[in-house]
Structure 1
Amino acid sequence: MRSPTRRRLPRRVTTALVSLVVPFAALAAPARAADAPAAPAGEGRAPGFVQAAPYLYLGWGNPPSATDVMRATGIKWYTMAFILARNGCNPAWDSQRPLTGGVDETTIKSIRAAGGDIVPSIGGWSGNKLGPNCSTPQALAGAYQKVIDAYRLKAVDVDIENTDEFESPAVQDRILGALKIVKQNNPGLRTILTFPTLNTGPNSWGNRLIERSKALQADIDNFTIMPFNFGGHADMYGNTVKATEGLKTKLKSVYGWSDAEAYAHIGISGMNGNSDVGEVTTPQIWTQIRDWSNAHHIGRLSFWAVNRDRPSWQFTSITAGFTG
């Protein structure tokens, strides 16, 4: 655990440290630069996209080798966490590490050399975030653009949580406005919103986020829910399905999409092993969730985190079988 004088760990990291007692058992968008890698096979279905991208967090001590895990599991994409704010409206890994010249850039280059790619997770549960620190959608879009340019990204994921972003109407709208701007300025860029959920679907703040994404014409490609922390000894498979169906219903209502269109714009980001409230997702349950996701052709599957999946990389291997 980090020193208590340091910032609070992202919620998923705090859980990771607690849940180590549990046995550890892709995009169609064109690149902005000619030398950026092509999307892995099996991706590129209209109207959404398909991406199996578990979280990899380099800010947690002794992170696994991204390329070793790729070779062992067949995974191609990672969601890399977390891009936060440093010195105002400036992006940095964990508010500390620069975008270029450090371990994060080196890791991204190695992943791409091995035939994969990454999407950055901007935000998270805790820390000094860009959404509240950048005063306008234009300023926030400028911060996102620095990340896009640093890595010639095909996609960005904004993980919007907690009272400072998810439960702030002003910041919700600022994030949506910024994503609209970068989407307009970067043809082919895919945008993802990741946010909490009830076991029945989005809560009032999630509903607002979806409604405002339509009203502001933000053109979000994927709405990824985090179906955990429901409380008690939850049925993690059943509640994940129920939450995802609730999201589908909301997207259909707001956007007028068919079932297939709504599913294609949905993502699931689970938690392997123990959740913050003691729920347990086993490899068998995660396989059920993956198979349901494939059968319904959702757009994205992720989990927190590869760091917690040692030594056999079971959850990562299961996720690699996601085809959308």
Structure 2
Amino acid sequence: MKLLCKFGMVAALPVAVTTTALSGIGTAQAASPFSDHYAAPYLQITGADAGDMSADMRATGVKDYTLAFLIPRSGCTPKWEADDSSVGAFTSQVKALKQAGGDVIVSFGGESGGELAQTCTSVSSLTAAYENVVKTYGITRLDFDIEGDVLGDAAANTRRNKALAALQSENPSVQVDYTLAVDPDGLPSRELGVLRDAQNRGVNVSVVNLMTMDFGDGENALNDAQSAARATSGQLASLYGISKTAAYARMGLTPIAGRNDDNEVFSQSDAKKLERFAASNGVQELSFWELHDYDKATGFAYSRTFNAIGG
């Protein structure tokens, strides 16, 4: 059964796989400021909730966060989806987090806001837009949450991957994640196609983050998440010519904290079990949707649980 992918505004939450740049055989990866295993919860950032990062860090010890989403304002100019802020907003909060030993992943796309590679039709201009985000926030990791109709836009997917390859050539410290939808039996064909094109264009993808949510099949959300991870490990091993162990090491898992859009519940107990599954298999990243609206009311329980993956 197909997984419904809905990373986006709170009214339309996402299901996806995040893929941080997976490098091909013989391609050296840049050093990462992130640990080998870490938690990076999503925050749908606005001026009102940007302080949740420091509050969560103090409460749980989580250091890293995924900020969602940059979408097109027009042409090659992105904006933050939730409150229309421009690139450059929240720099003080990101700087404070980094000074405290943390870091952020900036995520482009999502379920409903549009995708910059569709509106910015020049590869060089798209490369410059990505580089501006890297320089503005002083970061090295970008995430691309590719869903819905964008999956079938071959021109946009190729344009994005050409721009990312050019960006990594100019600045090898930049790492790329892809967030993609997943089924209990693995990545669907269009999601795999995005990764194949990235590989063909010379993009080093570090993490494939699976949106293990909204499976919509009436089954147990935890069981579906684990099934999706097992199946995807084989797909990534085949795609990149690596072992399943190495595939898990380049994987992320991202459920929704609590009630999913399909009314399945990913409980705090499920979170503990998924963390143990991820740790035992060497998964690189654990994340969840979303810090402000889903986890803050629990006292940041999901952050606290997932942070255990970092040891």
TM-score range normalised by the length of the shorter chain? 0.7 to 0.9
My pick for the range that moved more, 64-73 or 150-159, is 64-73
Shift in Å, 1:62: 4.9
- Would you say 1:181 and 2:166 are equivalent positions? yes
Contact map agreement 1:225 1:244 (CA 8 A) in 2? yes
Residue 98 (structure 1) aligns with: 86
Residue 66 (structure 1) aligns with: 53
Contact map agreement 2:161 2:203 (CA 8 A) in 1? yes
Shift in Å, 1:106: 2.1
SS in 2 for 1:240: helix
Contact map agreement 2:76 2:119 (CA 8 A) in 1? yes
- Would you say 1:134 and 2:131 are equivalent positions? no
My pick for the range that moved more, 137-146 or 69-78, is 137-146
Matched AA of 1:218: V
- Would you say 1:228 and 2:213 are equivalent positions? yes
Residue 89 (structure 1) aligns with: 76
Equivalences for 1:273-292 in 2 at 5 Å? 273-292=258-277
Shift in Å, 1:50: 3.2
Matched AA of 2:143: D
Residue 252 (structure 1) aligns with: 237
Cα–Cα, structure 1 residues 215 and 70, in superposed 2: closer, same or farther, change >3 Å? Answer: same
TM-score where L is the length of structure 1: 0.82
Q: Distance in 2 between matches of 1:223 and 1:96?
A: 28
User: What 5-or-longer segments of structure 2 have no aligned partner?
Assistant: 1-5, 14-19, 21-28
Equivalences for 1:1-324 in 2 at 5 Å? 11=8, 13-14=10-11, 39=33, 43=35, 49-59=36-46, 62=49, 65-94=52-81, 96-100=84-88, 102=89, 104-163=90-149, 165-307=150-292, 308-311=294-297, 312-323=299-310
User: What 5-or-longer segments of structure 1 have no aligned partner?
Assistant: 1-8, 17-25, 32-38, 44-48
Cα–Cα, structure 1 residues 244 and 60, in superposed 2: closer, same or farther, change >3 Å? Answer: farther
SS in 1 for 2:287: strand
Shift in Å, 1:87: 2.5
Residue deviations 1:158-209 (CA, integer Å, cap 9, x gap)? 111121x223222222222222121111122221000111111111111212
Contact map agreement 1:138 1:178 (CA 8 A) in 2? yes
Shift in Å, 1:116: 1.0
Q: Distance in 2 between matches of 1:15 and 1:90?
A: 23
Residue deviations 1:96-118 (CA, integer Å, cap 9, x gap)? 21222x3x212212212322111
Corresponding residue pairs, total: 289
Contact map agreement 1:15 1:275 (CA 8 A) in 2? no
Residue 34 (structure 1) aligns with: none
My pick for the range that moved more, 192-201 or 51-60, is 51-60
Q: Distance in 2 between matches of 1:52 and 1:133?
A: 32
My pick for the range that moved more, 73-82 or 306-315, is 306-315
Shift in Å, 1:30: 5.3
Q: Distance in 2 between matches of 1:80 and 1:205?
A: 25
Cα–Cα, structure 1 residues 10 and 265, in superposed 2: closer, same or farther, change >3 Å? Answer: closer
Q: Distance in 1 between matches of 2:115 and 2:308?
A: 33
Q: Distance in 1 between matches of 2:109 and 2:199?
A: 22
Q: Distance in 2 between matches of 1:242 and 1:106?
A: 40
Residue 23 (structure 2) aligns with: none
SS in 1 for 2:205: coil
Contact map agreement 1:161 1:167 (CA 8 A) in 2? no
Cα–Cα, structure 1 residues 117 and 203, in superposed 2: closer, same or farther, change >3 Å? Answer: same
Q: Distance in 2 between matches of 1:109 and 1:214?
A: 32
Contact map agreement 1:179 1:218 (CA 8 A) in 2? yes
Residue deviations 1:133-177 (CA, integer Å, cap 9, x gap)? 1113332222111100101212111111121x2232222222222
Q: Distance in 2 between matches of 1:120 and 1:130?
A: 13
My pick for the range that moved more, 72-81 or 309-318, is 309-318
Contact map agreement 1:226 1:270 (CA 8 A) in 2? yes
Matched AA of 1:155: R
